[in-house]
Amino acid sequence: MPGIKTISRYFYKMARMHSRAKGKAGSKKPYGKKPTWIQHDKKEIELLIVKLAKAGNSTSRIGIILRDSYGIPDVKSIVGKKITELLEENKLTSQIPEDLVFLIRKEIKVMKHLENNKKDMPSKRGLQLTESKIKRLVKYYKRVGKLPQDWRYSKESAQLIIG
């Protein structure tokens, strides 16, 4: 019988990207079909997502609104498509993916902080890590086809990209 240390090695194999901490998976969504308490059907949920997107909400914000206001815990289990897929069908997606936009905003905030606090070394390291995440994500989105191959990112044009 293997010891606890041997077993734990198998469960904690993956590590976090920019830390020494061992990673552990987050919460899992329950299996199953449409929850019993939801009164909305597929078509109503799709129309609601389109309406929220036209109001200027991002995909993550739409998911939060659906969960908190309408009691819809998971769109994919009910509709069969992700929120992003529904927005792509209705041509309501932005040119730059949402997670990349948030990383660029984070980099802008850290750069502004470093203008005032030039000797803040932990923030400089955080800026380096954020830049590497952006580069990695851009490389992925170019490979998948969500960004054009000639798309370039630079710190100087970051504020123009976000707007």
Range of the domain at 118: 98-162
- Choosing from 71, 89, 107, the residue where a domain stops is 89
**Is the pLDDT at 158 greater than 60, yes or no?**
yes
Answer yes or no: are the C-beta atoms of 162 and 101 closer than 8 Å. Answer: yes
Q: Same domain for 47 and 79? A: yes
pTM for the whole structure: 0.76
How does pLDDT run across 83-121, given as a tens digit for each residue?
999 999 999 988 889 999 999 999 999 999 999 999 999
Q: Is residue 37 part of a domain?
A: no
CA 64 to CA 98: how far, in whole Å?
15
Overall domain count for the chain: 2
What's the CATH number where 130 sits?
Answer: 1.10.287.10
Torsion of CA 25, 29, 31, 33, to 10 degrees: -160
Average pLDDT, the chain: 85
pLDDT band at 150 (very low <50, low <70, confident <90, very high): very high
